[in-house]
Structure 1
């Protein structure tokens, strides 16, 4: 019995009329995420990156050649504010991992491009991250990994739609 099962049993004892199936799924997902984050963040740290910096570099790499996006495309993809992106871009530029067009008064319109050094670094970090993540799920059979991945994809779409509908409905 995992800790979520223990909590569910406690709630069933105290409030037997409450359906805890959401906790059974989402509580375990949260617990798993909290458990794996330190190991994944350690991979990035070994490559001299924090999670936010890795996110920027990997987003540029996934964009494909020429590995260039405008800052607005980056912060929308990363789901952060433009103010949150600027310090990341400054750090990565100072390290030579990205480059930006000639300075102008509006940095939001200057394309951000992955340098060869940035590409090599993010590729190495991603490869190591995928080895760590694969090891973490190695206790599941290939069939179970595929099934779980499909179910989580379906859940992500359902949750995304539900959140979108809640946002459109506004606060109660």
Structure 2
């Protein structure tokens, strides 16, 4: 890892801040800065794969959420928004593009004529099955830069941190 330090942008930024503001503890920047930089690099790698299938990151997420629903591979738009963590407005735009491409359809449910159901089409299911297979191959490749022990430790740390961020305890629970 020490041999990577000369290439590490975060370490250079920290050195500059230590020189300019020695009165401030910039330690957290080492973790947050590297996570931020890594997230950007990973997103770039993932989006490159999605584009090979003519999909944006958001469209890939929608198709995955429909595929994960199981047969008949459909969900209501609001449910899709929850499963992909986007607003319903953003979801509508994604569904519009996917419908135009013939990858999903929209229909009214029999029991509620106001609502809509979004479903994968046959071509949509074939596309997401191929894309997801390649996506997982890509994620395995990206994670192969770590040892299996490092990957398990990192997953544990990130799971704990994310859980605490998403479900903070009140201050008096300590």
Fold equivalence (TM over 0.5)? yes
The alignment status of 1:87 with 2:93, answered yes or no, reads yes
Conserved? CA contact 2:108–2:114, under 8 Å = no
Conserved? CA contact 1:5–1:24, under 8 Å = yes
Provide the residue aligned with 2:70 in structure 1.
64
The alignment status of 1:77 with 2:83, answered yes or no, reads yes
Provide the residue aligned with 2:142 in structure 1.
136
| Change over 3 Å in CA distance of 1:145–1:108 after alignment to 2 | farther
Runs (5+) with no aligned partner, structure 2? none
Runs (5+) with no aligned partner, structure 1? 166-172
Structure 2 Cα separation of the partners of residues 29 and 115 of structure 1: 37
Provide the residue aligned with 1:5 in structure 2.
11
Provide the residue aligned with 1:168 in structure 2.
none
Structure 1 Cα separation of the partners of residues 132 and 16 of structure 2: 40
1:43 shift after superposition: 0.9
Provide the residue aligned with 1:47 in structure 2.
53
Q: Taking structure 2 as the reference length, what is the TM-score of the superposition? A: 0.82
Conserved? CA contact 1:70–1:108, under 8 Å = no
Q: Taking structure 1 as the reference length, what is the TM-score of the superposition? A: 0.83
Structure 2 Cα separation of the partners of residues 135 and 109 of structure 1: 41
After superposition, the C-alpha distances for 1:38-73 in whole angstroms (9 at most, x for unaligned) are 221121111111111111101111222322111111
Conserved? CA contact 2:108–2:117, under 8 Å = no
1:36 shift after superposition: 2.4
**Which of 150, 153, 158 pairs up with 2:164?**
158
Structure 1 Cα separation of the partners of residues 66 and 156 of structure 2: 26
Conserved? CA contact 1:101–1:110, under 8 Å = yes
Runs of 4+ with >4 A deviation: none
Q: Note the aligned Cα RMSD (angstroms).
A: 2.4
